[in-house]
Amino acid sequence: MTPYLDKLRALYKRMTLREKCLALLFLLVILFLWTNHWMGRLSTWNNARNLAAVELQTQQQWIDRTDFYSQAVNAALQRVDPSKTYAAAQLSGRVDSLIRQSGLSNQADINPVDTREGEIFNNHELRVRLSRISIAQLIQLNNLFSKEAPYINLKSVRIEKNARNPEQLDVRYEINSFDLKDLNL
């Protein structure tokens, strides 16, 4: 045998039973720590592999459904006249015009338009607060907004009674609109 193994054997024979047990325990602890470390790394690798497999499967499903999505987009675009969609400034102006038509311009507070850009269209959101309006004015304004669908949509309407005059309402609208980026779609 090699001289290294001979030296280890001689060292082992000189140890007492207590020293042999402690050395064995030390080796077992080192082996346990090493195994635990590698099992942790193996677990991390396996989790990453499983996540990648799920993401690939999801992407494959999107690719498989490409025809369905393109047909749905084309059908939706055929129902929409691109010249009637509103850009951010146009949306704000059109909402202001509708509010003026209903005679509520003095009670209206219009926030700036928030825009999220997409590949095919931009999505615009606008918040409007109306203070101290009657139910008749609310109905009239809702009718004006409904005539603008699908180009202007009411995302949410929050109605509260006015604290000073319970017969009047405070209304908050969240209005949603879009404009197509390419008019030749």
The domain segmentation of the chain, as residue ranges, is 3-61, 82-180
What sign does the dihedral 147-101-179-92 (CA atoms) show?
negative
Residue percentage of the chain with pLDDT more than 90: 71
- Which tens digits make up the pLDDT trace of 59-97? 999 999 999 988 987 887 788 887 888 899 999 999 999
Count, in order, helices (H) and strands (E) of the chain. 5, 5
- Which tens digits make up the pLDDT trace of 117-162? 988 889 999 999 999 999 999 999 999 999 998 899 999 999 999 8
Mean pLDDT score, 31-56: 97
Verdict on whether the full-model pTM lies above 0.75: no
Q: What does the pLDDT read at residue 1?
A: 60
Q: Is the domain 82-180 a CATH 3.40.50.300 member?
A: no
